[in-house]
């Protein structure tokens, strides 16, 4: 039984960060009802974000479909959606509509730009949002263009996780006040929060606002990735003096040459020298020498390799659900450990069961289906 057992979350089906947020709730034991546009019976086993959820298919352009959703809101702790501003209101499922049925309901909404501001109604994607927070500008090599860090920083880190955090904050507050509220998540603002350390360094005068000019952005020779003789890579993060000393020892580096660890003028030369040394051995050979020591070292693993690393295997960090290898629920709990997630169900497969639990009779379900409200 996960720590959120007994919580009910309604998720309006979308793409990327909102389903990821719903998955986080489901992983922790919450009952997550994903509202799809239509039933299709398709195998969704590869859609990891849909694991552990219940699926209902409603036509939210019909009055009856909207009424069914509002009925579900009466017993929900929260509803999450990722529409553009105003879309939910036009459908009749905006915050005022839903909270009229359940004043304690938390209404979580997530967009890239936020619900207000001059860009609120324009389209965008992860890369655009982290462009506005300063995050994308900071990522990449000197003299080269910024490098998109997949869609981890905006969609999932600055979006889905902040939505989950915001919704949980509001549910906690509602448990005391008895009043719900709207949680407005902007991926620009979430990714800006993820940049807090860099903004702190900048304020202290120890961060240059150019790519690959700082300790943590690849400029320092002791904090970067290096190619090995077999064309693979290792990561080295020997920031602290004692860890740096161990790097010098285990890599067989010249102590005098590498002594000026934090002399920025020496970083390019020392990086070239370290790169030449790392290139003399294979990735596995460096693992034999450095892995498990305090060098702050790790092999750079592919997605195919990562699940089989001894550390990940020991902690069961990856699992197989429905024949698909994927991450295990995280974080881990000492007492209320969540169950292994169930494979994603087909869209709309739980429609009848969910609506019956909300009080709909068989005849009422038949009427909804005849009206086109159930898709």
Q: What is the pLDDT of residues 134-158, one digit of tens each?
A: 999 999 999 999 999 999 999 999 9
Give the pLDDT band (50/70/90) at residue 43: confident
Pair (118, 14) in one structural domain:
yes
Asked whether residue 92 is domain-assigned, the answer is yes
Give the pLDDT band (50/70/90) at residue 315: very high
Kindly list the distances between the CA atom of residue 51 and the CA atoms of 171, 205, 273, 322, in Å, as whole numbers in the listed order. 23, 46, 47, 10
Is position 155 annotated as part of the catalytic site? yes
- Give the pLDDT confidence score for residue 16 in this predicted structure: 87
Average pLDDT over residues 56-78: 97
Average pLDDT over residues 106-119: 98
Give the pLDDT band (50/70/90) at residue 41: confident
Alpha carbon distance, N-terminus to C-terminus of the chain: 32
Asked whether residue 27 is domain-assigned, the answer is yes
Pair (290, 322) in one structural domain:
no
Taking Cα atoms as reference points, which of 248, 204, 198 lies closest to residue 222?
A: 248
Pair (295, 322) in one structural domain:
no
Tally of structural domains, the chain: 2
Pair (22, 98) in one structural domain:
yes
Pair (129, 259) in one structural domain:
no
Pair (28, 106) in one structural domain:
yes
Pair (294, 323) in one structural domain:
no
Pair (168, 57) in one structural domain:
yes
Model confidence over 214-239: pLDDT tens digits?
A: 999 999 999 999 999 999 999 999 99
- Residue 60 CA to residue 137 CA, distance in Å, equals 40
For residue 263, the domain's CATH number is 3.30.1540.10
Is position 327 annotated as part of the catalytic site? no
Average pLDDT over residues 45-63: 96
Asked whether residue 292 is domain-assigned, the answer is yes
Burial class of residue 227, CB neighbours in 10 A (0-12, 13-18, 19+): middle
Q: How far is CA 63 from the centre of its chain?
A: 34
For the chain, give the percent of residues with pLDDT over 70. Answer: 100
Pair (327, 273) in one structural domain:
no
Q: What is the pTM of this model?
A: 0.95
- Active-site entry in 27, 126, 155, 224: 155
For the chain, give the percent of residues with pLDDT over 90. Answer: 97
- Give the pLDDT confidence score for residue 172 in this predicted structure: 98
- Active-site entry in 40, 97, 125, 184: 125
In the predicted model, is pLDDT for residue 271 greater than 90? Answer: yes
Pair (244, 275) in one structural domain:
yes
Asked whether residue 347 is domain-assigned, the answer is yes
- Residue 349 CA to residue 191 CA, distance in Å, equals 36
- What's the mean per-residue pLDDT of the chain? 97
Asked whether residue 307 is domain-assigned, the answer is no
Pair (287, 350) in one structural domain:
no
Pair (260, 130) in one structural domain:
no
- Residue 295: domain span: 223-227+233-299
For residue 63, the domain's CATH number is 3.40.50.10540
Query: Domain boundary residue among 299, 327, 342?
Result: 299
244 DSSP 8-state letter = H
């Amino acid at each position: 039984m996960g720590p959120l057992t007994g919580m009910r979350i309604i998720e309006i089906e979308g793409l990327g960060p909102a389903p990821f947020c719903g998955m986080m709730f489901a992983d922790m034991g919450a009952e997550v009802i994903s509202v799809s546009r239509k039933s299709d019976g398709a195998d969704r086993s590869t859609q990891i974000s849909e694991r552990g959820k219940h699926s209902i298919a409603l036509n939210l352009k019909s009055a009856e479909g909207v009424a069914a959703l509002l009925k579900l809101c009466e017993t929900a702790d929260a509803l999450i959606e990722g529409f553009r501003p105003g879309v939910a209101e036009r459908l009749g499922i905006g915050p005022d509509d839903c909270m009229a049925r359940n004043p304690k309901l938390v209404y979580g909404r997530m967009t890239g730009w936020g619900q207000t501001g001059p860009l609120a109604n324009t389209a965008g994607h992860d890369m655009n949002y982290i462009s506005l927070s300063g995050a994308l500008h900071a990522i990449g090599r000197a003299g080269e263009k910024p490098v998109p860090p997949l869609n981890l920083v905006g969609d999932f880190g600055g979006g889905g996780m902040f939505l989950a955090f915001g919704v949980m904050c509001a549910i906690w507050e509602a448990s005391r006040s008895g009043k719900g509220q709207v949680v407005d998540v902007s991926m620009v603002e979430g990714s800006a929060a993820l940049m807090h350390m860099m903004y702190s360094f900048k304020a202290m005068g120890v961060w240059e606002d150019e790519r690959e000019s700082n300790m943590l952005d690849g400029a320092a020779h002791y904090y970067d990735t290096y190619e090995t003789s077999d064309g693979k890579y290792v990561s080295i993060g020997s920031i602290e003096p004692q860890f740096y000393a161990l790097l010098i020892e285990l890599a067989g580096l010249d102590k005098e040459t590498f002594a000026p660890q934090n002399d920025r003028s020496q970083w390019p030369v020392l990086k070239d020298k370290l790169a030449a040394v790392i290139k003399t051995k294979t990735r596995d050979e460096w693992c034999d020498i450095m892995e498990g020591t305090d060098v702050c070292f790790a092999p750079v693993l592919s997605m195919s390799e990562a699940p089989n690393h001894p550390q990940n295997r020991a902690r069961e960090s990856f699992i197989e659900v429905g024949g698909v290898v994927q991450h295990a629920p995280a974080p881990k709990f000492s007492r209320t450990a969540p169950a292994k997630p169930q494979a994603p169900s087909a869209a709309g497969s739980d429609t009848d069961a969910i609506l019956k639990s909300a009080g709909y009779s068989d005849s009422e379900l038949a009427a909804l289906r005849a009206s086109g409200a159930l898709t």
